[in-house]
Every structure is written in C-alpha cells, then in structure tokens.
Structure 1
Amino acid sequence: MTTGYAFPDLTHLFAPRSMAVIGASEKEHSIGNHAMKNIMEFSDFKGKLYPVNPKQDNVMGLTCFPDVASLPEPVDVILVVIPAKFVREAVEQAGEMGVKFAVILTSGFSEADDWGRAEEAKLVEISQRTGIRIYGPNCPGLVNFNMPLGMSFSPAYRNDIAPGSIALATQGGGLGRNMVQHKDRGVGFTNWASTGNECDLQVADFIHHMAGDPEVKVIGCLIEGFKDGPRFAAACLRAAEMGKPVVGLKVGRSEYGAKAAASHTASITGSAEVNATVFRDLGVIEVDDLDELVDVAQLLARKLPTGDEKIAIFASSGGAASLCADNVGTGGLELATFTPETTQRLADGLPDYAAIGNPVDTTSISISHPDAYRDALLATATDANVGLVLAPLPMDYGNYSVINGESLIAVQAQTDVPIVPIWMSERQGDGYHTLAEGGLTPMRSLRNMRKALRRWIDYGSWLASRDASWRPAVIDAGAGAVDTLTRTLTEIEGKRELAAAGIPAAAPELATTAREAEEIAARMGGPLAMKIVSGQITHKSDAGGVKLNVDVDNSGVIHSEIIANVKSKHPDATLDGVLIEPMAPHGGVEAFVGVARDPVFGHVMTFGLGGIYVEMFQDVTRTMLPVTKAKALQMVNQLKSAKLLTGYRGQPPRDLDALAGLVVKVSDYVAAQSDRVEELDINPVWVGAEGEGVMALDAVIVVKA
C-alpha cells in the first residue's frame, strides 16, 4: 500500500451495475430528460435503470418511482438532477438503504450562499454517517467513454464520445469539456471526472482510481485548488508507481488567476512556486494551457520517452523544415544524425535537389511520387538514431494532403517511433481529418509542438533519474496548521539546536556588556563576527546590528556601537546582548538554505546563493521534504548560478559533498520536529573549497510558541 490513506474503490461509480435518476423526466429539453436520454439513447449501459419522479408514472418506457426509498434495490449510483432544496432528503434515503454513490449535478450549494454551504455540510454528515460517497455537487457529471456511459445532463455528451487511453480529472466543467472535444483531432479518452464542489470525493480520489485502471495510459488533471494536499501527493505517488504519467494544469498561478479560482472553488489555490515544486517532485508534468495538456498527454499515450530522444524533421517544404528546426533548437531539443544506411536510402529514393540531411526536404515528390515520399519517411522513422519524427505541414493541399496523411499513418503502423504531424494551416481540410482519424493527432503550431516535445522528453529524464524509494513526508506527517502563535529563537538558541542535530554551525557566545565582549574576544582571538541578539529583530544588518572582521582590541567599542545602532532604530525591542563568534575563513561562497511550512503541502525547502544574492537574483530551487543527498546535489545543479559552486573561471570547486550533507541534516531536523518548526532560514551558509567543509553562519528558526 503506497499511502496511509484509505482511497475509495470507485469501480462501481465508473461502471455501475444499477442506477437511479432522481428527477428523471419526459419533459423535452428538461435537465432530467437530457440525463435519461444520455443514458438510454447515447450510452451502452446494460444494468438496471430506475427513474425517480413523484409526478410521473413512467419515463421513456420505464416505471417511475416516487422517491429513493421506494426503489426495489439499493443501486450503485443515484444521479441527482433535482432542485437543491430537495437533494438532502434524496441522498439521506439513498445512504440509509445502502446506495454506494450519489452523483449530484445540482448547483446552489457552497458555491452559492450561506444556505448552500450549510446544506452541503449536511450532505457531508450524511456521507460520513451512512457510507454513501458523494460526487459533486455542482458538477457536469461523470463520463466513461470506453463503455460508453454518460452520467450527465449535457446535450454535448453524445458528440463528445471518443474512446481512448487518456483519463481526465478536472475541477472545471467547461474547461474539462474543452479538452474532451479534442476528439476532433483524434484524441481519445477513457473517462472524465469533473468534481465540482468536492464536498466528499475529490480530484485526488480520481487520480488514484485512474492510476489502477488498466485502460488508462495517461492522466490529465485540471486543478483550481487543493482540498487536501497530502492526499493529492499520495495519489500522484501512486500514479508514478503504476507507470501512469500525470499531466497537470494549475489554475491560479497569478494573483488574478488565484482570485478567480478562489471565487470558483472553496479549495486553497496555494503558492504557484510551491505548487510547481510539488508537481515536479511527484513527476506531474505541469503545462500552461489546455491544448498543451492534451498535446503532452497524447504524446505520452503513444510512447513513454527515455529522455534521450533525438529528433528527425521530415517535410516537403524547405521553409517549414527550417522553421521547424528553429523551434527544435530554441526548445533545447536535439536533431538526430542519420546513420550512413539511412542517408544512402534517402539518396537512392529522392531527387538530387532534395535535402537528405536532417531536416529532410522531399520537395515536390510528395505530389508527383507519393510512394517515394512514403519510402523516405519510413527510412527516416526507422533510423537507429531517431526517437521521434516531426512532420510540419504548412498548408492544406487538397487531396494531396490526404495522400500524404495516409502515408504518415501507413508508416506509423510500421514503427513505434512517434510520427508527429504539425498542421500549420488555418484551413482544416480532409488531410487534417485523415490524420486525426488515423490517430496521429495533428498539433496546431510549431510553438505548441516545441513546448509539448520539451515536456515529453523532460518526463523521460525524470523517469530515468527517479528515486522510486522516495516518499514525500507530507503524506504521513500531514501539512500541519500554520500557527499564528510563534516565537523566533535567538541566534544562539538556533545554532545550538542546529549543532545538536549534527548541522555544522559556529559556536557563538553572548556578551551582555562591553566588558564581557572584550573577555570573550580575547579568548576566541580574531577576526570576529558580532551580531545583535533579539527575538524581535530578524534583519540584523538593516538595524545596524552586524559587524564583521572585528579586531579583538575593538570588541568592546563595537559592542557599544551595535547596541546604540539597534536602540536608535528599534527603541522598544528587547536586546539580549551581542553574539560573538569567529569569522569564517576567506574565500568561501555563501549559500542559503530555508524551510517554510506551506498550508497545503507542508514543509518545503528552498536553496540558493546566500547573503544578499538570494533576494537580488531570486535564483533558487525548491523541493518537498525529505531531501536525500542525491536530491540535494540536484538542487545545486538546478541553479542558474551553479557554476559558482561547481567551479568557474579559475575558482575552485566548492565542498559540494559537505554542502549536500548539511542540506540533508536540515531536512532531517525539520522532519523530526515537523509539529514544532514553522520556518527556518540559514543565511549564509559558508561553503569552503573541496575538503574545507561548510558552516551555518546565521540562523533564524521560528517555532510554535
């Protein structure tokens, strides 16, 4: 078992053996009528179906029951399409008789007003008391495309059925249906869960279910906010274990988007930086838009990448080939070098004026000699060095586009190397539809291709480097409440805690008077660092409370100067004295290690250059806890400024082994005290050359009071 969570078995929600439609109706164009039609006319549901409506004796030829309590058996699913004021009674009756699931399409609950919020809370109580699981309310329904079965009132459902291997779990109904309608370019879906208010079942539950569904190859998710961060992490970890890539689009990454998402869902939108960190750590491929989500998902459904794929470009337009090559280069992708055998096959089959390197430009033979075009494509796609073939198609060329599309489909059937057409024209003629119907899913621009291909290959790299034993601490520890009652440890207290945890830290002493400062300085020897100690002052330098490279003979004077500086800027602050410690050796590089508690995903570590540079350049990397040594070294290498630590222009490499060890010990320290530590900043961490070690020179630790 991956997690400590008891994820529900949703088998009979997606494939019920019996159903009841609460609010079924004969009235044309009514919600209840659409719901019945979608099941009876446009689905292949072979189980028992019971209409429920006290005002009708039968609906669409089926005997109608006055209420849920009158049903002859406890069905697997009730589909609820009645006004909000009647929903609670229907769900209560269903729960008491042993119904497994309630799919509540009705709106007017927590998204609406105080009455709706109170009513939704009562639905949760019914679920917890009786065991009935609730999907929704305020949702467009649940669709199993491979059956098919549409538990929905949408009149669009009948036109959206496209069986496939991509599953969707979304918090947005309209945006979810937007992705479903990519069926028109050949994308197929196993099922679609759009979870609405998530008063009970949430996106995480559906990701977990989809991870175990043998018909699912890829999971796409659209997130507006997180009901339960640890649960989401556990579900995504399960998907990774099952080899099911998750492609995620998070709404609310900007301040504007976050406000809009908050008005649409009661979930916590969260910090964009933290959300992106969680996605990356869990292997969730974060995308920027709906079409990108579908592009990436369909690529993954066709083939899982290794991360080492080299690209071939195959075109019949020199301009399209060159522009495509530009996009490959700007995307950081790599063109393949053809083997001599492939080059010879292309030379034998194409005219002298064709380009037979990579990119390949067949010129007009795509019109005059379609067989030669097809043979050249097969030679390209089966080259030993080629991991994917791009086929940019700049214009609709009538029936010739159909013939070329058929060639792409025919060659794809002979290799597992993906052939990816890019349909660049605004005219979607028969050639476009030929490709879509053949399962090649034309991408709509070179820009879209570049982004999708970059995500695809990066996922292969993540797979290759993934530590299958790593498990986010938040799954077991929970996120924890961000406590408003906190206190900041003094630097001396903080460094003592760090030292006790095995984290290299200076051993400071406290001088309450100038005389004590002189005595301590004489004992330590110089040069010295002297810093104000006060639980009310975090930014000591800004208050004039830090002096570096102090001579032993000046220690008493500097002590008095620091006290005077701080009192002038913070007259009401309580000053404990002045910390004195030896200066770190010259020649080190300063790094920064911080940990803060996110309200959704718990403690997250931030690493970067230290001193003033962490704020100036914002060049940082983040990760969830726990941090392994390999992950710590990975964080170093992800910095844009990594060369300052690894060695640059005559500067020696730093002691990365010791730095990684410090990062791991910080992670272990916070994990061991996860209920107590709210925030930790070690800035700077002095990093010596190889073999010289590291030292925490300043530490701010915030704990629960």
Structure 2
Amino acid sequence: MKPFADLTRFINPRNVAVVGASAREASQGRRLYDNLVLHSAVPGEVFAVNPAYGEIGGRPCWPSISALPEADIDVALIMINASLVLDALKQCAARGIPFAVVMTSGFSEAGEEGQRLEREIAELCRATGLHVYGPNCPGFVNVRDRLGMTFSPAFKDDLNAGAIGLATQGGGLGRNLLQGLSHGQGVGLWFSAGNEVDLEIPDFIAHMANDPQIRVIALLMEGVKNGRRLTSALELARARNKPVVVLKIGHSEAGVRAAQSHTASVAGSAAVNSAVFRQFGAIEVDDLDQLLATARLLTRITPKSGNGLCIYTFSGGTAALAADIAGGAGLPMAAFAPATKAALRKLLPDFASIDNPVDTTADILRNQQASVECLRILCADPGVGTVLFPIPMDYGAITDGMAQAIATVAAETDTLIVPVWMSRRLGGGFQLLETEGLLPFLALSDAIAVLAKAVPWKTPAVQPAPSSPPAAAAASGGRMLSEAAAKSLLREAGLPVPQGVVVANAEEAAEQAARLGFPVVMKVVSAQIAHKTEAGGVRLNIASAGAAREAHAAILDSVARRCPEAKVDGILVERMLPPGGREVLVGVHRDAAFGLVLTFGLGGIFVETIRDVAHRMIPLSRDDARALVREIEYVEILEGVRGQAPADFDALEDLIVRVSDFAWQHREVLHEMELNPVWVGAAGQGAMPLDALIGYAG
C-alpha cells in the first residue's frame, strides 16, 4: 500500500508558482493569482507563469516553469488547457518542485482521452516522486495561515479559521461548509481533492490526524478510490483521538450515478461503506447540515457531555415535544441531584416543572438574570452533560436576552449547551447565538439527530419493554383467557383454529394424540403464562403415543420449576399443521384515543426483533385488510422468495376481517387479543392461528 505523503511543504509553502496566471480581469487565472498576491500571506514569492505576458499587475511574468529564476518553489498551481498539463508537470519534476495542483478540468470525468492523460500523470508521479493534487479541483485553502491556492472569488471572505479539518471531493459543497462555519470554530484546512490522480483523501486525513491544531476531521465523499488506504487513515485518526465525521454520497442509485460522473470514482456499496465507517470509528451523517453541525458540535464536546441530556425551555408544549423526540432517538435523560431541584425551586414559580424536561413557564421571560441562574444550576449538576435549549418563538428583546444568557453560561461551563431557534423569524437572538459560535439549530429533530450521533452517551436510555397481553390486561384490572378458552371462543365465532383437546394426564394425552393423528403439538394451558415457550411449556413434532406421555411429564416439570405461581388447567394437544407455512401476527388492542385498533405484521420470533407491523382502526373492510397486509415492509416474504409459492392472501385477508368483526362485536368488553403466530399456507391452504390470547377489561 502506498505510504501517506508528507504534506508539510504543501500546507505551508514559502514560494509558489502560478502556471496560467492571467492579466484578464475576472478570469480564473487572474483570480487565482490575485488570491495569492493580494489576499494571502505567502511568506516568499508568487511567480506568474504565462508566455502571453511579460508582467501581470506590475509584477514580472515568466514564459514557462523552466524559465523561472533560481528559487526553491514548493507548489506549482496549474490552470491551463488539459492538453498542456502533462508537459507542465514534467517541467515541475525537472525543477524539483515537489507539489503541483492541477485545477484544470477535462480529465477522467470527460472520457477516454482524459483517462489516458490521468494514467500518464500517475506514471510520472511514480517515476519522479512529484505529488499531484487534482486534477479537476478548485484547489487547496489553508484558512488558519491565510493561504488561498484557489481560484474561488469567495476565498477572501471565508477566512474564519478553526480546529475543523475538511476534505471534500466537490468544490461547491466544500465552500458551502466553509460559509456555514463563518463564526466560532471554523475550518483550519480545506482539501478539495478532485479526481485524486495521486494525492487522495486518505493522505489528507492522515495529515490532519497528525496536525495538533486540527481537532475534528469532516469528510464529504462521492467515491472511494482506495478503500484500504482510507481505513488506514481512519485508524490513524482514531489513534490520535481525532473524531471523523463523514457524509458519503451514493446511497441511492441516482446518487451513485451522479457521484461516478462527477468524480469518475467508484461510489461503492452504501451498506459496505457504512459498515466500514462504523468499524473504524467514523461518524456517518445523512446530509450536509448534519455534517456541518456534527463537526462543529464535536469541537465543543467535553468529557462531561455524555453524562445525560437535560431539556430546558419556557414552553410546556416545546418541552414535551423535545422530550418525545429525544426519547424516540434513545437519548438518556439526566436525573437531577436533590440540590439542583432545591435550587431551581427557589428561583422558579410553584407551577413550573423542575423535573427533566424543565419548563420554567413564561414567567421567566421577565427576568433574564433568573434565566442565567437556572441555566448555571443545571450545568453544574454532575448528571447533566448536555443541555438542549429550545426557543420556540422570537420575542424580540426577551429572546435576545435568552440568547445572551446561553452565550454567557456556555463560555463558563464544560456542560454542552445546544440552542434550537425554532422560529422562521431569525431575530437578534438568533444572530447573537450565531456570531457567538453556538450554531443554533433550526429544528428539534435536527438537533437531536446530531446529538445522537456526536455525543458519546455514557448511559443508554432504557426503552420500555412492550407489555405482554396478560400484563396489559392485569394492569387494566381485567381477566385473561387461557389459550384453550380463547380458541374455543374463536371457534364458536366461526374463526379457523386447529383441532385440539385439553387433557388432564399423560395417558389421556397419548390417546388424544393418536386420535388427532401424528405429529401433534402439546402446550401448557394457563391464563398466567403468556409466553409458554420461555416457560418450557411447549413441545413440537410429537410423533408417537410414548412421546406424548413423555412430553406431558416434561411440560409439567418445566412449568413447575419456572412458573411455580401459575395455575395449570391442563395440557392442550393439537394436530400440527404442515411445514412451510409463514408466520404472521394479528392482534387487537384498545388505544386510548382511537379505541380498538388491529395490528398486522410478521409473527413468531420476528415480532420483537423486526417489528414490521401496520395498523388499522376497527372495523375493517375487505379492502382495508388487503391494503393492511401489503403495507408491511417485508411483504415479499408473503409474496414468495427464491421460488417459494405465494402465501394464501385470500385466507389471510378473510381471517383479518373475521378478527375485526369479532373484536367489534365484543367492543364494549374486549381489552386486547393476540393471535401469534398465525400459520399461513400457500395459496389454497388457508390461514390459522396457532396460539391465541384474549383479554377482557375489568
């Protein structure tokens, strides 16, 4: 693998040559030259090279690189026709110039002739040791040392330097990021790599990983030239504790095509790219705004930031919305120390909420100092690592004061404060936060998405486990039916259920199994045991009378050990359905707002893992059932994969309608029901619940 280039003389050149410098105002050659002569702090000389001129702007101009006076030139910037570039590079190599930036377009992105030229440039680099940056690029900008090796007219205006290192494969979007970081921590170095004929994104990552002034590395990538070099550079950045944030274009087919035509590089598989980024510790983001915000946020993160999230605002609705979105993203909410609550209680009115989220109510709007003190109290709490401060509206001088409070406390604490300016009226408060370098978000969801990616949370949020039907029914003061009782009720209502009988002893189990026909399944009957498999209460594929006797004894023994409090009503013996069916779930629960709702999805072991479900209010029509079945994400499992026959959609839809009708008939008392798994055979074989639970409200 090619070693990473030493870019020291490239980053901070003393003398620079501009090949293609022009006297024509507004030409790219003139802007490039002026950026170096007028707007940069080049410590040595800027040599103009163009055979058409003897001087440019009162300074001498030479006809060729070979004709330049004696000097150690570190970088040659080349802005000439593509057909002339190779000869200019050969002159660079002959002069001992170590680096050349080729800004000209018309190479591999343009077709076969351009590809041939790139191959010749690459061979020249291998043969001579010359390093070429580009071609087809806008150049390089060292913002922190005010050095603009670029033809961009915006260079002189985008000079807010900082600890963020940026490497992109596109010039326009890179400039967008520079301008998005116009306040606070900005960009120190910006590499815009172009076609990467020699120097590549990994070379730039490696340099920034070793640069003590760069704290965060941001990447905007369209393609991956050399995956192994990339991962080596990412590994180096991780070893140097430099977080890397990456936006990789090419998740969709259209994005891949655009990336290939733009950079002439291989976009790669999105899934593989994402997996590699995770493997080597890079934070992948979804869009340009996230790249910008995550990179900036990472410059502000401290060891305390991941302790827990506090939401602090003066609007109850905003507090609830923020908490809801944060909970959905899995962010851990901080638990306040007693001293924090006591201090807040002294400052805030009795009707304020001093739990997390904190709702100070609008009362605090009249007292800016109280806002500052509340924020200080929260930031001092050891359990609070990050404070999310949403401001839902612009209130002129009042919200200006809040913004000032945020800026004041942010400057004195190691707790991360993240403001969200939610109003489209970008008032003085927004501008103050912006100029103070706090980069206010404009939407809660954006802020929380970035916090989820950027902050190393120390304690993951505890997600409530989905309640089982018996637990839900018990909580409502209702009663649960056993599987056997539930199936009996369903059979009476005309729903298909397997043939079966409840037996009291092992001998009866053997007799009934033989009568039903082998193989059979045997299951414990108990209203207190919802998950029979976990209790050891299920035996499958019982193929003989002797096996039935043994299964009866084994079930009772296992249930007695694992669920000693459960009341066992017997053992259910059922004829097993043929193999090859697909398992789905059909359930009903009572929603507080909408009443009875039917849920359909993949069943069996997939319910709590894939969670691929869809919902409809009851009652359902046949059209509703048809749409519901096809709404789940993995409906192709039912449609048939790898030559498998389609499932019996007609029977499944019929079952769903019958369940809906049953639930509607019992709507006054039914609390919930679950048929899981429901066996669905191939077309014509039917659909039948293999397990059933029904709970009635008390």
CA contact (8 A) 1:84 1:106 kept: yes
- Partner of 2:278, secondary structure, is helix
- Partner of 1:336, secondary structure, is coil
> Residues 306, 184 of structure 1: CA spacing in aligned structure 2 closer, same or farther, 3 A cutoff?
same
* Equivalences for residues 298-309 of structure 1 within 5 A: 298-304=296-302, 308-309=306-307
CA contact (8 A) 1:312 1:336 kept: yes
- How far is the alpha carbon of 1:158 from its aligned partner? 2.0
Corresponding residue for 1:24?
Answer: 21
1:44 matches 2:41: yes
CA contact (8 A) 2:245 2:282 kept: yes
CA contact (8 A) 1:422 1:446 kept: yes
> Which structure: larger Rg?
2
Corresponding residue for 1:79?
Answer: 77
> Could you give the per-residue CA deviations for residues 580-624 of structure 1, whole angstroms, max 9, x where no partner exists?
xxxxxxxxxxxxxxxxxxxxxxxxxxxxxxx9999x9xxxxxxxx
CA contact (8 A) 1:187 1:441 kept: no
Amino acid in structure 1 at the alignment position of 2:403: G
Corresponding residue for 2:441?
Answer: 443
* Equivalences for residues 402-417 of structure 1 within 5 A: 402-417=400-415
> Could you give the per-residue CA deviations for residues 513-555 of structure 1, whole angstroms, max 9, x where no partner exists?
xxxxxxxxxxxxxxxxxxxxxxxxxxxxxxxxxxxx9x9xxxx
Amino acid in structure 2 at the alignment position of 1:416: D
- How far is the alpha carbon of 1:176 from its aligned partner? 1.5
CA contact (8 A) 1:311 1:336 kept: yes
Q: Aligned partners of 1:187 and 1:273: how far apart in 2? A: 32
Corresponding residue for 1:162?
Answer: 160
1:68 matches 2:61: no
Q: Aligned partners of 2:62 and 2:292: how far apart in 1? A: 42
Match of 2:136 among 135, 138, 141: 138
TM norm structure 2 = 0.64
- Partner of 2:310, secondary structure, is strand
Q: Aligned partners of 2:175 and 2:450: how far apart in 1? A: 20
Among the aligned pairs, what percent are the same residue? Answer: 44
- How far is the alpha carbon of 1:183 from its aligned partner? 2.0
CA contact (8 A) 2:160 2:183 kept: no
> Residues 400, 26 of structure 1: CA spacing in aligned structure 2 closer, same or farther, 3 A cutoff?
farther
> Residues 278, 641 of structure 1: CA spacing in aligned structure 2 closer, same or farther, 3 A cutoff?
farther
> Residues 28, 332 of structure 1: CA spacing in aligned structure 2 closer, same or farther, 3 A cutoff?
same
Amino acid in structure 1 at the alignment position of 2:62: F
- How far is the alpha carbon of 1:403 from its aligned partner? 2.0
> Could you give the per-residue CA deviations for residues 556-601 of structure 1, whole angstroms, max 9, x where no partner exists?
xxxxxxxxxxxxxxxxxxxxxxxxxxxxxxxxxxxxxxxxxxxxxx
Corresponding residue for 2:484?
Answer: none
Corresponding residue for 1:33?
Answer: 30
- How far is the alpha carbon of 1:44 from its aligned partner? 2.4
Q: Aligned partners of 1:130 and 1:5: how far apart in 2? A: 15
Corresponding residue for 1:179?
Answer: 177
Match of 2:346 among 348, 356, 367: 348
> Could you give the per-residue CA deviations for residues 88-142 of structure 1, whole angstroms, max 9, x where no partner exists?
1111101111101111111111111222221222211221222110000000111
Match of 2:231 among 225, 230, 233: 233
> Residues 197, 459 of structure 1: CA spacing in aligned structure 2 closer, same or farther, 3 A cutoff?
farther
- How far is the alpha carbon of 1:335 from its aligned partner? 1.4
- How far is the alpha carbon of 1:177 from its aligned partner? 1.6
Q: Aligned partners of 1:304 and 1:96: how far apart in 2? A: 50
Q: Aligned partners of 2:149 and 2:37: how far apart in 1? A: 11
Amino acid in structure 2 at the alignment position of 1:107: S
- How far is the alpha carbon of 1:34 from its aligned partner? 0.7
> Residues 189, 365 of structure 1: CA spacing in aligned structure 2 closer, same or farther, 3 A cutoff?
farther
* Equivalences for residues 470-549 of structure 1 within 5 A: none
Q: Aligned partners of 1:211 and 1:329: how far apart in 2? A: 34
Corresponding residue for 2:331?
Answer: 333
Amino acid in structure 2 at the alignment position of 1:457: V
Corresponding residue for 1:128?
Answer: 126
- How far is the alpha carbon of 1:643 from its aligned partner? 8.8
Corresponding residue for 1:424?
Answer: 422
Q: Aligned partners of 2:155 and 2:310: how far apart in 1? A: 38
- How far is the alpha carbon of 1:287 from its aligned partner? 0.8
- How far is the alpha carbon of 1:188 from its aligned partner? 0.9
Corresponding residue for 2:284?
Answer: 286
Amino acid in structure 2 at the alignment position of 1:217: R
Amino acid in structure 1 at the alignment position of 2:229: R
Runs of 4+ in 1 over 6 A off after TM superposition: 459-462, 611-614, 640-644
Q: Aligned partners of 1:323 and 1:364: how far apart in 2? A: 17
- Partner of 2:100, secondary structure, is strand
> Residues 14, 262 of structure 1: CA spacing in aligned structure 2 closer, same or farther, 3 A cutoff?
same
Deviates most, 152-161 or 357-366 = 357-366
Amino acid in structure 1 at the alignment position of 2:51: P
Match of 1:212 among 210, 220, 242: 210
- Partner of 2:388, secondary structure, is strand
> Residues 306, 434 of structure 1: CA spacing in aligned structure 2 closer, same or farther, 3 A cutoff?
closer
- How far is the alpha carbon of 1:46 from its aligned partner? 2.1
Corresponding residue for 2:640?
Answer: none
CA contact (8 A) 2:122 2:198 kept: yes
Question: Considering only aligned residues, what root-mean-square deviation do their CA atoms show, in Å?
Answer: 2.8
- How far is the alpha carbon of 1:355 from its aligned partner? 2.3
Corresponding residue for 2:633?
Answer: none
Q: Aligned partners of 1:47 and 1:317: how far apart in 2? A: 58
Amino acid in structure 2 at the alignment position of 1:46: P
Amino acid in structure 2 at the alignment position of 1:95: A
Q: Aligned partners of 2:289 and 2:303: how far apart in 1? A: 20
- How far is the alpha carbon of 1:458 from its aligned partner? 5.0
CA contact (8 A) 1:324 1:446 kept: yes
> Residues 108, 5 of structure 1: CA spacing in aligned structure 2 closer, same or farther, 3 A cutoff?
closer
- How far is the alpha carbon of 1:316 from its aligned partner? 2.0
Deviates most, 283-292 or 434-443 = 434-443
Q: Aligned partners of 1:166 and 1:42: how far apart in 2? A: 22
CA contact (8 A) 1:305 1:459 kept: no
Q: Aligned partners of 2:67 and 2:392: how far apart in 1? A: 62
* Equivalences for residues 108-127 of structure 1 within 5 A: 108-127=106-125
CA contact (8 A) 2:102 2:132 kept: yes
1:15 matches 2:15: no
CA contact (8 A) 1:166 1:190 kept: yes
Q: Aligned partners of 2:404 and 2:43: how far apart in 1? A: 37
- Partner of 1:24, secondary structure, is coil
- How far is the alpha carbon of 1:402 from its aligned partner? 2.4
Q: Aligned partners of 1:17 and 1:128: how far apart in 2? A: 25
- Partner of 1:247, secondary structure, is strand
1:271 matches 2:255: no
> Residues 376, 307 of structure 1: CA spacing in aligned structure 2 closer, same or farther, 3 A cutoff?
closer
- Partner of 1:69, secondary structure, is coil
- Point out where structure 2 has 5 or more consecutive residues left out of the alignment: 461-540, 544-578, 585-604, 610-698
Amino acid in structure 2 at the alignment position of 1:62: R
CA contact (8 A) 2:18 2:77 kept: yes
Equivalent residues, number: 475
- Point out where structure 1 has 5 or more consecutive residues left out of the alignment: 463-548, 552-610, 617-639, 645-705
> Could you give the per-residue CA deviations for residues 414-465 of structure 1, whole angstroms, max 9, x where no partner exists?
2111100011122222211211111211112111111101112358799xxx
> Residues 90, 365 of structure 1: CA spacing in aligned structure 2 closer, same or farther, 3 A cutoff?
farther
- How far is the alpha carbon of 1:184 from its aligned partner? 4.3
Corresponding residue for 1:54?
Answer: 51
- How far is the alpha carbon of 1:372 from its aligned partner? 0.9
- Partner of 2:90, secondary structure, is helix
> Residues 460, 125 of structure 1: CA spacing in aligned structure 2 closer, same or farther, 3 A cutoff?
farther
Corresponding residue for 1:375?
Answer: 373
Q: Aligned partners of 2:421 and 2:148: how far apart in 1? A: 32
- How far is the alpha carbon of 1:260 from its aligned partner? 1.7
